[in-house]
A = this chain, B = another copy of it.
């Protein structure tokens, strides 16, 4: 009757294979921390701390490298709110964010609760790679 709430390794394994990253111990462990339990907005430092307290031996440099590899592979999306404060979002679908200036926290705004219309065309045949909307909230 007990639900196993921890995502099996095989799922993280498939995820890594799908994007062509070799499934090392560190990548598997980080993938499970990131993608278990729904959408997250996490910094490199936070993920590193979390890994260490889960007894996952991994260096901060590897956390950074891994986050960027995941981002390039489309498993994560990077969100910059302040100079020198960058978050990685496990939700890569189309959506935007509330940013709480005081606490520094991010919160999703589903794409259907906000609408950016009339986006002008990119100049001279360039493509729009993404539209980021950040609604800054005092508090």
Contacts and interface: CB of A to CB of B under 8 A. Distances in A.
Given A80-B81, A98-B122, A120-B114, A138 B129 contact: yes
A123 to B, nearest CB: 7
21 contacts: A80-B82, A83-B86, A98-B123, A101-B129, A114-B117, A114-B120, A115-B116, A115-B117, A116-B116, A127-B138, A127-B139, A128-B136, A128-B137, A128-B138, A129-B137, A129-B138, A130-B136, A131-B134, A131-B135, A131-B136, A132-B136
A18 interface: no
Contact of A129 (B122, B128, B133, B136): B136
How many residues of A sit at the interface, in one of the four size bands? 35 or more
* Majority DSSP secondary structure for residues of A touching B: strand
A113 interface: yes
